[in-house]
Amino acid sequence: MPSSDLAAPARDRVTVVTIARRAGVASSTVSRALNGDPRISAATRERIAAIAVELGYMPDALARTLSGGRSGLIGLVLGPVENPFYVAMLEEVVAQAAARGLRPLILHLGAQAIEAETMRALQQYRVDGCLVTSARLSSDIADLCGRRGVPVVMLNRVTRLRASSVSCDNLGGAAEMARFLLGQGHRRFALVGADTASSTALEREQGFSQALAAAGLQPLRLSGGNSSWLGGYAAGERMAALPPAERPDAVFAVSDIMALGVMDALRRHGLRVPEDVSVAGFDDIAESARPTYALTTVSQPLVPMVRRGLDLLLARIQEPDLPDEVTLLRGRLTLRASTRERPPAA
Amino acid sequence: MPSSDLAAPARDRVTVVTIARRAGVASSTVSRALNGDPRISAATRERIAAIAVELGYMPDALARTLSGGRSGLIGLVLGPVENPFYVAMLEEVVAQAAARGLRPLILHLGAQAIEAETMRALQQYRVDGCLVTSARLSSDIADLCGRRGVPVVMLNRVTRLRASSVSCDNLGGAAEMARFLLGQGHRRFALVGADTASSTALEREQGFSQALAAAGLQPLRLSGGNSSWLGGYAAGERMAALPPAERPDAVFAVSDIMALGVMDALRRHGLRVPEDVSVAGFDDIAESARPTYALTTVSQPLVPMVRRGLDLLLARIQEPDLPDEVTLLRGRLTLRASTRERPPAA
DNA sequence: CGGAATCGTGCACACGTATGCGCAAAACTT
DNA sequence: AAGTTTTGCGCATACGTGTGCACGATTCCG
């Protein structure tokens, strides 16, 4: 049936064979020449390179992969993007991956569960490695990757699973924030956590509480749902509803996005930040730097975190049997206008 | 050199050959059986299917692509993610693409220029099609895709280039907003636009201005940089600095993210929204629904837009010679508390 | 000047899947 | 029962690249 014969001649790719014919050599010579094999003479190499440029040759990444190489693809499993921190992380990962010649393939994005489709994609496309930022169901991913020999690095998650991880020193950062607030004269604290207990959130709660306990204090625990603006807002409303005598004079939320919700709720109910209540967060997302928020927070070292994560991943791609490694990077206290010195006594 | 001989036996893939040997048939029979070729008997088909399941066989997408099929990869070129609208669009694209068995490969993300690396990736990985939301330098992408026969669909961008596009009826939506505000009794308007003139922003400005002109009015044009919160904030500050007599009583910003900046600036300078000034936007991002903003806006039909975009793309992947198509979807006015009826006379 | 070492290149095959074609056996027709 | 169609499957090859091995040509050494 020569019905669709006209569809065929449309696009003919430039391959090593095209170049080989043009140069009068074998295709293997072209392959070696372009890959800098020292066995090929300089003259031949340059001649072939010239033809390649002339024809606009681009090696087919898929064929190269099939022939035993790496695909250059890294699978991305991303958490809830309603939290701008994950968006910033995505942006940084994409930029740094591109600089290293890697292409990010999105396997999953969002807070909901990971579908079977994702797992299939992970197996069908020969992903060299995986970067995971979502905790939910990450165990399945890690498990599957482990069985198939695909290295995994967790970003911003510490896990007991077989995988390396890079994370901020959540415990230390939260503790440092607690000590800072204590030093400012605050004595009545609220701690806003998230219901969906991620390792990150738990560590921050713990670090904050422990530092307060060292000063003989205990925070009022408020939780308002998941780690989102709305969750923080709900917690803030609950706090604003307290009788003034019981109301804390400093709030620490385990994520900036929640802290912003807390601030908005407090202000909406007539409380001033920082005059009446100091508010602090963790992450340092872009929104926190807005003059209307000016949130005091613990800045996560995003760029070094991603760099370290890719370092770990690439090392394990080249040497699959390297042992798992857990990296902790210290956060930095960023002081803004949402917190304020309290007079020593009431 | 038998040095790294131990590295080889690590992971042996399950391929059609594995199954063929196990079933005592040729590999071509396996391929046909799994792809539902009617020439294979039901008995053989089932036997092979059973073995495939037992061994956990997954076809290699790369090899399949090489053999003449589609890769199942669609390239994504994304705009500035500081605008949550683009993040929402990304999320929707990922979800809908997965449902159709497509994998999104991130080619570019962010406001800055598209690097050469991106163009290379586009050629090296056999992307079936491209989805573009960024206007900056999208001409290069479209050009390259056109030459290589890769269909392109622009989302939220209308372009004169060779590509199909799906977009909201920006002109009509902005005009409808203008008529609504007029109907509420507003007479002094401000229009907040962006410096970096995207087609989207320009159309919205135009639609708003034209509808006002039809009522014999002209808006005060304010621009405060690019389409970001900070840009809106700057415009809001300029507006708040005006003497009360000259100050508009309604502002329309060409994007929600700018409108939120405007609101924050106005409130920070003591103006009440909507009591003193009504504020309206365009996009309907999640933040606009927060009780603290409650922004009146034009909702973009995100889900249908992405659906239509993928429809167009898939149609052109299967039939490359289809003519370009431009789809316009009507937005819907979403009324919230940031706008308010004005008394008929002063 | 003959043998060995070195250099540059080609042949063949591998990776995993899809498919045109051919061939044997079974089913049907006359 | 012999010929014709249909059925079910295998052989060979293509896709584009990488690489082990071998082979002819050159160079070096004695």
Interval A327-340: pLDDT, tens? 999 999 999 999 99
Average pLDDT over every residue of B130-156: 82
Name the pairing type of β-strands A250-253 and B332-334: unpaired
pLDDT at A9 over 70: no
pLDDT at B164 over 60: yes
- Chain B residues near residue A16 by CB distance under 8 angstroms: none
A223/A312: higher pLDDT: A312
The two structure tokens encoding residue B132: 């573009």
pLDDT at B5 over 60: no
pLDDT at A142 over 90: no
Query: Would you place residue B23 in the very low, low, confident or very high pLDDT band (cuts 50, 70, 90)?
Result: very high
Q: Which of A159-168, A282-291, A301-310, B32-41 is predicted with the least confidence, judged by mean pLDDT?
A: A159-168
Angle B116-124/A84-99 helices, nearest 10 degrees?
A: 80
pLDDT of residue B220: 97
Q: Point out the nucleotide closest to B19 (alpha carbon to C1′).
A: C16
Query: Would you place residue A4 in the very low, low, confident or very high pLDDT band (cuts 50, 70, 90)?
Result: very low
pLDDT at B6 over 50: no
Query: Would you place residue B7 in the very low, low, confident or very high pLDDT band (cuts 50, 70, 90)?
Result: very low
Contact criterion met (CB < 8 Å) for A94 and B105? no
Contact criterion met (CB < 8 Å) for A98 and B81? no
Percentage of chain B with pLDDT > 90? 76
Closest partner residue to B81 among A87, A108, A233, by Cβ? A87
Rounded distance in angstroms from the CA atom of residue A31 to the C1' atom of nucleotide C1 = 39
Cβ of residue B59 near strand C, that is under 7 Å? yes
A291 sits in which H/E element: none
- Residue B322 contacts residue B169 (beta carbons within 8 Å): no
Query: Would you place residue A6 in the very low, low, confident or very high pLDDT band (cuts 50, 70, 90)?
Result: very low
pLDDT of residue B4: 34
- Chain A residues near residue B58 by CB distance under 8 angstroms: 120, 123-124
Averaged confidence pLDDT in chain B:
90
Average pLDDT over every residue of B253-274: 97
- Chain A residues near residue B61 by CB distance under 8 angstroms: 124-125
Closest partner residue to A81 among B91, B103, B126, by Cβ? B91
Q: Point out the nucleotide closest to B60 (alpha carbon to C1′).
A: C16
pLDDT at B10 over 50: no
Average pLDDT over every residue of A190-214: 93
A123/B4: higher pLDDT: A123
Q: Which of A123-127, A258-262, A296-300, B259-263 is predicted with the least confidence, judged by mean pLDDT?
A: A123-127
Contact criterion met (CB < 8 Å) for B90 and A104? no
Closest partner residue to A62 among B120, B121, B126, by Cβ? B126
Which residue of chain B comes nearest to A148, CA vs CA? Answer: B11
Which residue of chain B comes nearest to A106, CA vs CA? Answer: B104
The single-letter code of the amino acid at B218 is Q
Which residue of chain A comes nearest to B147, CA vs CA? Answer: A11
Count of other CB atoms within 10 angstroms of residue B34: 17
pLDDT of residue A273: 96
What's the rounded Cα separation, in Å, for the pair A25 and A49? 13
- Chain B residues near residue A104 by CB distance under 8 angstroms: 105-106
Query: Would you place residue B236 in the very low, low, confident or very high pLDDT band (cuts 50, 70, 90)?
Result: very high
pLDDT of residue A219: 97
- Chain A residues near residue B71 by CB distance under 8 angstroms: 62
pLDDT of residue A159: 73
pLDDT of residue B118: 83
| Bridge partners (DSSP) listed for residue B73 | B103
Averaged confidence pLDDT in chain A:
90
Range among A36-40, A149-153, B118-122, B267-271 rated most confident: B267-271
Rounded distance in angstroms from the CA atom of residue A32 to the C1' atom of nucleotide D29 = 31
Cβ of residue B123 near strand D, that is under 7 Å? no
What's the rounded Cα separation, in Å, for the pair B299 and B335? 10
pLDDT of residue A137: 59
pLDDT of residue B330: 97
| Bridge partners (DSSP) listed for residue A223 | A193
pLDDT of residue A21: 92
pLDDT at B341 over 50: yes
Q: Taking phi first (over 0 means left), then psi (-120 to 50 degrees means alpha), and beta for anything else, what does residue A283 get?
A: left
Cβ of residue B29 near strand D, that is under 7 Å? yes
Rounded distance in angstroms from the CA atom of residue B250 to the C1' atom of nucleotide C13 = 74
Contact criterion met (CB < 8 Å) for B61 and A105? no
pLDDT at A1 over 50: no
pLDDT of residue B1: 32
Percentage of chain B with pLDDT > 70? 94
Interval A146-174: pLDDT, tens? 888 899 999 998 776 678 999 999 999 99
pLDDT at B89 over 70: yes
Query: Would you place residue A10 in the very low, low, confident or very high pLDDT band (cuts 50, 70, 90)?
Result: very low
Q: Which domains does chain A have, with CATH numbers?
A: 11-59 (1.10.260.40), 73-168+302-330 (3.40.50.2300), 170-299 (3.40.50.2300)
Peptide bond into A274 cis (omega under 30): yes
pLDDT at B137 over 70: no
pLDDT at B33 over 60: yes
pLDDT of residue B11: 58
DSSP code, position A36: T
Q: Point out the nucleotide closest to A32 (alpha carbon to C1′).
A: D18
**Choosing among B83, B91, B125, B322, which should be mutated to test the A contact, i.e. which has the most A CBs within 10 A?**
B125
Q: Which of A138-152, A329-343, B62-76 is predicted with the least confidence, judged by mean pLDDT?
A: A138-152
A13/A20: higher pLDDT: A20
- Residue B282 contacts residue B174 (beta carbons within 8 Å): yes
pLDDT of residue A313: 96
pLDDT at B254 over 80: yes
pLDDT at B223 over 90: no
pLDDT of residue A119: 84
**Three-state DSSP class for A25?**
coil
- Tell me the longest C-alpha to C-alpha distance in chain B: 93
Interval A41-88: pLDDT, tens? 888 899 999 999 999 999 999 999 998 778 999 999 998 999 999 999
**Min CA distance, A28 vs chain B (Å)?**
19
